[in-house]
Amino acid sequence: MKLRVSCHLRFQVLEASVLILMLRPYKGCQQWINREIYTIKPAMPIIESTDSYGNSCQRLVAPVGDFSIYTSAEVMVTDSIDVAPGAYFVEIQHLPDKVLPFLLPSRYCESDRFGDLAREITVDALPGYDQVSKINNWVRDSIQYVPGSSDYPLSAVEVHLQGHGVCRDLAQMAIALCRSISIPARLVVGYLHNLQPMDLHAWFEAYIGDRWYTFDPTQSDLQGGRVNIAFGRDAADVSIFHQFGSGCLLNSMDVRVDLLDN
Amino acid sequence: MKLRVSCHLRFQVLEASVLILMLRPYKGCQQWINREIYTIKPAMPIIESTDSYGNSCQRLVAPVGDFSIYTSAEVMVTDSIDVAPGAYFVEIQHLPDKVLPFLLPSRYCESDRFGDLAREITVDALPGYDQVSKINNWVRDSIQYVPGSSDYPLSAVEVHLQGHGVCRDLAQMAIALCRSISIPARLVVGYLHNLQPMDLHAWFEAYIGDRWYTFDPTQSDLQGGRVNIAFGRDAADVSIFHQFGSGCLLNSMDVRVDLLDN
Amino acid sequence: MKLRVSCHLRFQVLEASVLILMLRPYKGCQQWINREIYTIKPAMPIIESTDSYGNSCQRLVAPVGDFSIYTSAEVMVTDSIDVAPGAYFVEIQHLPDKVLPFLLPSRYCESDRFGDLAREITVDALPGYDQVSKINNWVRDSIQYVPGSSDYPLSAVEVHLQGHGVCRDLAQMAIALCRSISIPARLVVGYLHNLQPMDLHAWFEAYIGDRWYTFDPTQSDLQGGRVNIAFGRDAADVSIFHQFGSGCLLNSMDVRVDLLDN
Amino acid sequence: MKLRVSCHLRFQVLEASVLILMLRPYKGCQQWINREIYTIKPAMPIIESTDSYGNSCQRLVAPVGDFSIYTSAEVMVTDSIDVAPGAYFVEIQHLPDKVLPFLLPSRYCESDRFGDLAREITVDALPGYDQVSKINNWVRDSIQYVPGSSDYPLSAVEVHLQGHGVCRDLAQMAIALCRSISIPARLVVGYLHNLQPMDLHAWFEAYIGDRWYTFDPTQSDLQGGRVNIAFGRDAADVSIFHQFGSGCLLNSMDVRVDLLDN
């Protein structure tokens, strides 16, 4: 299907502040960016680079005053998401080198602390896809999804204690559980068609069989219509905007996803 | 200045053919892509990846029949190009690791065969920027620039014998000469505002002082208004479209560069 | 100076276990590996790869029974460590792309939680080297260095609460503080000549001026004689041996550093 | 089998000269380096880095006078080389991204000039492994292998005209032919047990099925006992020593390969 996605951020900048943005849709993962707009007002020098995961990052110094970022894209994406019950667990010694970082604990996914819980959740599951399904279902059932409930990232340990979280929190809880039983998992930030309420979204992928598969603990169905913006170990790696200091106030954020044709 | 650039390629495909395209403007080098369109007709699966130089590549199988690619972008670029007479030669042992590949001979830049000529051309020059200036001037004076004169890439040795060439040939001749005296040099493919006749263009950059500097042996003035598409060792690395087999006929190619505002 | 370093690990393996090792001295950072031995008994297939930081990693499946790893090297290293009081703070927008990951919070360095403390510690310091010096001194004075006191990694938040730690803990506490005031910092694992008691060691580096500088909160003097094994964001990235599961018991670990000549 | 390999280079340096060396055995490709020595006399600062293919490179400035490099290693390698008659041709659109550079023409492998010859040689072959076998045999039969016959690298076009060459020349001829029919191919430089006469050796690998396979047009049997030093597009990328300028005279080169145990 063809989607038009957009995100409009408006800030009030009290003190000149460095921002690192990740707002370009990802190039190179089964989605085709047909048209893209990226406007920053006022205009200013922007330094663009690609991180070790292939995400596009923009660095800039936001000047004092009103500051806005508008990004939009027309993207061809798949209508449905591949599922693969029974896909096998990949022994660590056979994982591609590039997948290894997604096996390690990271800032918000303390996988070194969840081995017992993960083994309990997956006790009856076949190694591989079915383990991840059990984890995904467990997170959906155990951690209440409350959109808009947290402003700054919590770690999996904190989310587990708290019992509720935003999409990112649920995804990171699931990632920590997967890694703790040696299944590589990564966070995806992007757009999802028909998300309720509309917002930027986060879900996760697990490496099983011979590729990455998509899971989303916040949604009962694994719908298609997903536009990937960035991949990373967790929200420390992939933040749509990362502010250094506290000089920037986000006044509004307007996210849209429209179906152009199917 | 803000430019709108576009390239429209129309092919007749006689036999299903693999193409590797490099047509997205480069992200991350002092140009800001504000708006971008990339349309391929008929629509088809496209595999996108980033090469070791940071260029974005698209792979696809063009089906039999009419086939077209339209790409356009609005880009903020610098009005003028930095020059630095006197910028010093960087000793090889002090070059950044990533610059080393641009010191070696490559398919169309047989720098291992031009040491004597390069030393002769630069005999009176200070090491560094001034050597590259001498080489650039020598190429402009010695190799006649004949736009549209060659359909497939010639190497520097061949261009030297022939005495004339297209923009890419002159750039590659200069690159071979620079590398033969241990100055890293790379090919740039892109758009140039006010190029006569309008077409995609190629020029080169040399690593001197502590950065890459732009040179263009086809132009008497080093004007700004350049939109970079891709960087590489030579035309083997950076081809706006690389066809495997001979099943694709290019029927037309329409390139435009318009000034939006200054 | 020329050092001979060695590390001998003996395990009892109760259950076949995957290990990821990082035990080769680092290539490419002002140290020259003149001679190297790396013996794993019993012999088995080993998969070697290089991670995104340039560290060499070995993956293997340790079979049930006695299992040992012996690694040794003769390395030329610098006698003294560069210090640079007054070296300037690098604005985030000017940092090299490859340095950016070391600015973000990571598993054991929750830099997003230490801004207030870091600003308090560095209140009188000049931006840059002097801030890191204050942080390094503060960690040395505030967190008691107790070699051998922890078996598994604690995070900076946990170490701060606990008030004592091993070398890795102090280094990670300092890293978290540096990053929280936008100074990139990374963990180094390696050997240190004359370390008391002898063991593998961990310290940190901060990016200031235009390069990485070494700091060591466990030592009152910043002696030379350091052999770098691996660099990373924290102990999640650089673990000399990372065991998946609990089937491997470390029976003994023997570390030596001898001065060969000066 | 376990081999001890060594290479001893002695130079007379007339003028201080930059050298880039590639003499460490490759880490990470089905060979295990158990023991390694790398001695450069006189001792001097050496800058070590890893290129985009994973090869380890050493840069140094050789001072005037006697200069020597001694490198040796004990390496576990496979006794026999995998062959796979019938392994399938991988469509370009399905090749891993990292394999793409090995499809393009390079300095000494002008694959853009050999399409007709390659199609003629492989006219009856099944796409894939069998095509490469035909090419390998054709090179063995058509280009006379004359060890020691050339001092500087010739390109495939030149070798084809000349009709004879060293191991590197035959490998590059085969590489050019493979790439011209869209099979990725790369040069390998290394040691070969029982090579007659003993010297450093070069052969090639082609990407077929889902991996790289080894071929050697200079040898009638595809024996094992190969120690890989470096991989690249051709001899421009992988030169065991690359001299800038002409100030270094190679006085002697002593290469040994001994079987330690099987």
Tens of pLDDT, residues A150-198? 777 899 999 999 999 999 999 999 999 999 999 999 999 999 999 999 9
pLDDT at C72: 97
For A38, which of B33, B48, B54 is closest by C-beta distance? Answer: B33
CA distance C65 to chain A (A): 19
CA distance B256 to chain D (A): 29
A-chain CB neighbours of C52 within 8 Å are: 52, 101
CB contact under 8 A, D38 and C33: yes
Judge contact between A198 and A210, C-beta under 8 A: no
Residue D178 CA to residue A39 CA, distance in Å, equals: 46
pLDDT at A258: 97
CA distance A103 to chain C (A): 10
CB contact under 8 A, B28 and A47: yes
The average pLDDT across D232-251 equals 92
For chain B, positions 33-52, list CB contacts with chain D under 8 A. Answer: 47, 49-52
pLDDT at D6: 98
Chain C: partners with 3+ C-beta pairs within 8 Å: A, D
For C34, which of D34, D38, D47 is closest by C-beta distance? Answer: D38
Q: Is the pLDDT of residue D262 over 90?
A: no
CA distance C67 to chain A (A): 17
pLDDT at B173: 98
pLDDT at C262: 73
Q: Is the pLDDT of residue C87 over 80?
A: yes
Q: Is the pLDDT of residue A149 over 80?
A: no
Residue D26: half-sphere exposure toward Cβ, Cα within 13 Å: 23
User: For residue B194, which of B257, B260, B261 has the smallest C-alpha distance?
Assistant: B257
Tens of pLDDT, residues D59-93? 999 999 999 999 999 999 999 999 999 999 999 99
Among chain B residues, CA nearest to D52 = B52
Residue C18 CA to residue C239 CA, distance in Å, equals: 14
- CA torsion sign for B6, B10, B16, B19 is negative
Give the tokens for residue A155: 């770690």
The average pLDDT across C9-31 equals 92
Residue A143 CA to residue A163 CA, distance in Å, equals: 5
Judge contact between B227 and B34, C-beta under 8 A: no
User: For residue D245, which of D1, D14, D82 has the smallest C-alpha distance?
Assistant: D14
Residue B102 CA to residue D199 CA, distance in Å, equals: 29
pTM: 0.94
Tens of pLDDT, residues D175-192? 999 999 999 999 999 999
The average pLDDT across D152-158 equals 92
Judge contact between A185 and A213, C-beta under 8 A: no
User: For residue C240, which of C192, C194, C189, C197 has the smallest C-alpha distance?
Assistant: C189
Residue C250 CA to residue C68 CA, distance in Å, equals: 9
The per-residue pLDDT string of chain B (262 residues; one tens digit each, 9 = 90 and over) reads 999 999 999 999 999 999 999 999 998 778 999 999 999 999 888 999 999 999 999 999 999 999 999 999 999 999 999 999 999 999 999 999 999 999 999 999 999 999 999 999 999 999 999 999 999 999 999 999 999 877 778 999 999 999 999 999 999 999 999 999 999 999 999 999 999 999 999 999 999 999 999 999 999 999 999 999 999 999 999 999 998 888 899 999 999 999 998 7
pLDDT at B41: 95
Which uninterrupted H or E stretch holds A172? helix A167-180
Judge contact between D192 and D257, C-beta under 8 A: yes
User: What is the share, in percent, of chain A residues with pLDDT greater than 90?
Assistant: 90
Q: Pick the residue of A23, A24, A27 with the most B CBs within 10 A to test the interface with B by mutation.
A: A27
User: For residue B56, which of A21, D97, C158, D109 has the smallest C-alpha distance?
Assistant: D97
B150 or D261: whose pLDDT is higher?
Answer: D261
Contacts of D241 (CB under 8 A, 6+ apart): D9, D19, D20, D21, D22, D23, D69
The mean-pLDDT minimum among A89-98, C57-66, C195-204, C237-246 falls in C237-246
Whether residue A78 lies within 8 A of chain B, CB to CB, comes out as no
* Residue D193 per-residue DSSP state: T
Residue B32 CA to residue C12 CA, distance in Å, equals: 58
Among chain D residues, CA nearest to C35 = D37
CB contact under 8 A, A236 and C104: yes
Tens of pLDDT, residues C104-120? 999 999 999 999 999 99
- CA torsion sign for A33, A35, A41, A42 is positive
For A236, which of C47, C52, C106 is closest by C-beta distance? Answer: C106
The average pLDDT across A45-55 equals 91
Q: State the average pLDDT for chain A.
A: 95
β-partners of residue C157 are: none
Judge contact between D235 and D187, C-beta under 8 A: yes
CB contact under 8 A, D39 and C37: no
Whether residue C153 lies within 8 A of chain A, CB to CB, comes out as yes
Q: Is the pLDDT of residue A245 over 90?
A: no
